[in-house]
């Protein structure tokens, strides 16, 4: 028999509705019911509104260990590239067991913030010297184990990394990432794919144009298309990446991907910051994952969301370096960065409801990018959702018409009280059952690393 939940309000994608219960069976939403008999047997959630779970499309879980460790100047000019040196240093100190504890910490924090699905862009594959483990997917399995224990849905985006860059010598800091042959990368991915269980799925991610040469990229893209897998890729995050691509191929990164027929509806460009209007048009059939909190922290620049929306591209969000984990903060920053640059307000509304557009990007568009049936409270979708306390100070005074605006532009994590994945409650009254253990073990890892 299915199970139902009866909050004060349910967000249906267009508005908040009252007097209705959401029902699910075997982890899938079956219906929204106003039948009196259904309402009587549904679990009452007083002073709560429920919304579809947030989708974090782009995470590097291991980078959670460097939060707060890089906020100081290391050279005369600190940039993404100097930050990367510190990140590589941390990546090369993490053991398989530490990877598990770090990922649990990152995923716990995601769950506490209303995230129900994560896309983990996973590129730490080997031991610190670059030698594959006996189980070539050992570290990926530690990530999957962590997500399963926290209860998150995960799309593991297994990442191909081949070189330091065009005309660059190998970088010892990248040794754990490198898989020189495309056939080995595909075989390892297929082996992991065949072992998946539960809420896990898989996609592939050529790291970037600078890290993956064109012939290798074509092999990975062909594998993704043959198996209908999501294909994600860092694109145009830094100006130096643009310059290197022009030097090697004579065109900019998005132009190259367009020319080589890599861009399609299953492709997600991560960042896509330094692009031209023509490149935005080239991305019109694809999705762009913006990571505004991380991008601001790294000094990357701002995603030209207005150009991308106008071109028809989907936009979703990621926590990326996990310097802060708050997908709704990323949603509002997408708009706020444009306001700062253009000296205008409400730029991304385009005649439609701004909060609806941003919330859809944080949920349904992200689910589409990862190839999961989530992101909306509709029959046939996964029963992934979260509740907010209508009496939380950050939502106080909101009425039904303004509640989504409050959620998108003002909600604090204190308002998120419960989180369900597959209809199973993983956060209850703002806490996870493993929370104390996860924090304690992560703290021990940090003490050993630093």
In the set 271, 274, 406, 432, the catalytic residue is: 271
In the set 2, 300, 320, 337, the catalytic residue is: 320
Written as one string, the DSSP assignment of 50-65 is EEEPEEEEEE-GGGGG
Cα distance between residue 411 and residue 297, in whole Å? 21
Cα distance between residue 162 and residue 388, in whole Å? 44
Nearest to 404 by CA among 328, 337, 333, 334: 328
Cα distance between residue 11 and residue 390, in whole Å? 13
Phi-psi region of 275 (alpha: psi -120 to 50; beta: other; left: phi over 0): beta
- Catalytic site residue 234? no
Cα distance between residue 379 and residue 382, in whole Å? 8
- Catalytic site residue 3? no
Which residues, in sequence order, are CB contacts of 431 under 8 Å at separation 6+? none
Strand spans (E) along 136-196:
153-160
CA distances for 119 relative to 104, 219, 334, angstroms? 14, 22, 19
Cα distance between residue 331 and residue 325, in whole Å? 12
DSSP 306: H
Element (H, E) at 147: helix 138-150
Q: Annotated catalytic sites, by residue?
A: 271, 320
């Amino acid at each position: 028999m299915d199970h139902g939940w009866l909050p004060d309000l349910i967000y249906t994608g267009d508005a908040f509705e009252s007097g209705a219960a959401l029902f699910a069976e075997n982890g899938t939403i079956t219906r929204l019911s106003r039948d009196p008999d259904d309402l009587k047997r549904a679990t009452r959630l007083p002073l709560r509104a429920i919304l579809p779970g947030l989708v974090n499309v782009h995470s590097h879980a291991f980078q959670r260990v460097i939060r707060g460790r890089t906020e100081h100047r290391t050279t005369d000019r600190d940039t993404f590239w100097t930050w990367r040196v510190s990140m590589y240093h941390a990546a090369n100190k993490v053991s398989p067991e530490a990877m598990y504890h770090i990922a649990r910490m990152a995923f716990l924090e995601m769950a506490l913030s209303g995230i129900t699905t994560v896309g983990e862009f996973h590129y730490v594959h080997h031991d610190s010297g670059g030698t594959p483990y006996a189980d070539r997917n050992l570290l990926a399995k530690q990530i999957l184990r962590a997500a399963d224990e926290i209860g998150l849905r995960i799309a593991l985006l297994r990442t191909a990394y081949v070189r330091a860059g065009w005309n660059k010598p190998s970088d010892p800091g990248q040794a754990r990432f490198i898989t020189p042959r495309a056939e080995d990368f595909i075989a390892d991915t297929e082996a992991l794919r065949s072992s998946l269980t539960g809420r896990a799925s898989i996609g592939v991610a050529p790291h970037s144009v600078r890290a993956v040469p064109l012939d290798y990229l074509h092999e990975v893209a062909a594998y993704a298309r043959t198996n209908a897998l999501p294909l994600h890729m860092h694109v145009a995050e830094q100006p130096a990446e643009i310059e290197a691509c022009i030097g090697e191929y004579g065109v900019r990164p998005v132009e190259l991907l367009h020319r080589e027929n890599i861009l399609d509806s299953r492709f997600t460009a991560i960042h896509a910051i330094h692009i031209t209007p023509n490149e935005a048009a080239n991305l019109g059939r694809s999705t762009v994952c913006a990571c505004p909190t991380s991008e601001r922290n790294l000094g990357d620049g701002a995603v030209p969301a207005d150009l991308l929306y106008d071109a028809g591209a989907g936009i979703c969000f990621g926590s990326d370096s996990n310097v802060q984990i708050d997908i709704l903060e990323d949603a509002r920053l997408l708009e706020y960065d444009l306001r700062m640059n253009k000296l205008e307000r409400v730029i991304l509304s385009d005649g439609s409801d701004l909060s609806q557009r941003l919330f859809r990007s944080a949920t349904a568009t992200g689910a589409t990018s990862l190839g999961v049936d989530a992101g909306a409270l509709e029959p046939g979708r996964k029963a992934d959702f979260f509740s907010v306390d209508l009496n939380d100070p950050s939502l106080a005074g909101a009425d039904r018409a303004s509640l989504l605006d409050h959620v998108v532009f003002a909600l604090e994590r204190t308002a998120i009280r419960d989180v369900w994945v597959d209809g199973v409650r993983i956060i209850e009254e703002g806490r996870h059952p493993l929370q104390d253990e996860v924090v304690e073990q992560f703290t021990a890892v940090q003490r050993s690393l630093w």
